[in-house]
Each structure stands twice: as C-alpha cells, then as structure tokens.
Structure 1
Amino acid sequence: MSDHITRIHAPEGVVEAPGYSNVVSGTGRMVFVAGQIARDESGNLVGPGDFAAQAEQVFTNIGRCLTAAGASFDDVVKVTYFLTDIRNIPLLRDALWSRIKPENRWASSAVQVSALFEPGFLLEVEAMALVSE
C-alpha cells in the first residue's frame, strides 16, 4: 500500500461501498491518464462486442500510461468508468481486481452512456494517480 495515500472506505455516516473507497487523499505529484479505450498499440479495436476483452485492453493501456509517468495501479486515487451497458460492471471488476489489491480501492464513478466516440467501443476509463515525491 502506498504510504502517501490515505483511503477511507466508509467515513462515519456513509455506507461502505463494494469495490471502491468513498474518500482518497494524499500528497505527491498528480498524474492524469486520459480516457483509455480498447485499442491495441497499432490502433485496432480489441474485442469487438466482447466487454471482458475490451476491459482487459483498457486496463492494460492504463497500466502502460501509468508506467510511462512513473506510477502504478497502487498510486491511482480516482477513476471514472464510461460504459455503454452498466450491467457489465461485474466484468469490469473482474479485469480490475486482477490488477489492484482490495485495500487499495480508489474513488470511482461509473456512468452509463448511450455511445462512445466511435462505434464498437463499449468502455472508456480515465484515471488520476498520486505519486510519492
């Protein structure tokens, strides 16, 4: 667990939510990862019609972006998920839990959208991380 980040899963009077922290704070250098979609390094859509495959690629891309900035999934403090079908949250969590420890849950928001910027994409995820200085 990153010692420069404090995660409060359930502050007094707020119900604990499964899968994320209600509050995350800390000190350090901010890293912002733009919304990532299921494109491979050649720009091709990965997993047409397959949410699980797209989620895996999205988190792979986020991991690469974090690494490029000197960060890791342990440093993530907030993510926003944009899904074309909110019923895919369990598949999203499957891809997520293989990458983070349960105690390192970040603050998050999930939004169902009617479409993403290009047909075929089922998920976009943006992330913010806080890296120790």
Structure 2
Amino acid sequence: MHRTLQPTGWASPRGYSNGVEAQGRMVFVAGQIGWNPVSCAFETDDFVGQADQALRNLVAVLREAGAGPEHVTRMTWYVTDRAAYAENTRAVGRVYRDAFGPHFPAMTLVIVAGLLEEEAKVEIEATAVV
C-alpha cells in the first residue's frame, strides 16, 4: 500500500512526489547505469539514451523481486552534466513515462563530478515496497 504525501497548500511537484508512505516488503535496487546489462558496454553516449537504458535496467531488477515501477517509493538520480539534463527534460520525461508510466515516487537528482564508469552520464537507484 502506498500513499503520496502532499502537504496542504504546497505547489504540486512535476515529475516526482514530495513523499511516499508505504508498508510491505522492501526491495533495494543498486544504481543502474545506461549500459547494456549483458555486455556491460555503452551503446550510446547520448544522455537521454543512457537514461532510458538505466531506467529499463532498473525495471528488470525490480521484476526479479516480483515488483514493478508502481512499487518504487524512492528514487535517486546521479547526473554528471546539469546542462545535459536541463536541455533534455522533455525527452527524459518521455523515456521515464515509457518505463514507469504515470508513477512518480519521491525523487532526488544529484549533480556529481563523475561516476565509476567513466562513460556513464547517469546512474539511478531506487527503493521499492511491495
């Protein structure tokens, strides 16, 4: 069971929730990057393409736990290029909705100097409650 937390009088967030209350079995998904999970190779250096692949990788891990995007309560994005994210918010929103539909968990986006895999432009981790 999940309940979105939206304090009275606050502006509605776009593309995320301010908070989520949940009860159930917890699933923790490690940071997923935008590479092919079989070959561990990047098929694109495009920011949106990597975000799309990272989200698809995250959904695949959720499936292993019998979970889906609707169970995600918290998500953290680590992005290496603020401008690339800002310039592509519509496209990122599109690939997000393709993977997660209309489900918007509590979300944080952090700009980082780099990720372990030097080619990675985005890494996404999540917590789900089933």
Q: Same fold (TM over 0.5)?
A: yes
Number of residue pairs matched by the alignment: 125
* Match of residue 92 from structure 1: 92
* Match of residue 111 from structure 1: 110
Distance 1:29 1:23 in 2: 18
* Match of residue 4 from structure 2: 7
Any conservation in 1 of the 2:2–2:22 contact (CA below 8 Å)? Answer: yes
Any conservation in 1 of the 2:74–2:126 contact (CA below 8 Å)? Answer: yes
TM-score between the two structures when normalised by the length of structure 2: 0.89
Distance 1:29 1:110 in 2: 25
Secondary structure in 2 aligned to 1:53?
A: helix
* Match of residue 78 from structure 2: 82
Distance 2:110 2:104 in 1: 18
Secondary structure in 2 aligned to 1:82?
A: strand
1:27-52 Cα shifts (integer Å, max 9, x gaps): 1000000000112111111312x011
1:36-82 Cα shifts (integer Å, max 9, x gaps): 0112111111312x011111110110011000011000100000000
Gaps of 5+ in 2: none
Identity of aligned residues (%): 34
TM-score between the two structures when normalised by the length of structure 1: 0.87
* Match of residue 53 from structure 2: 57
One-letter identity of the residue aligned with 1:44: A
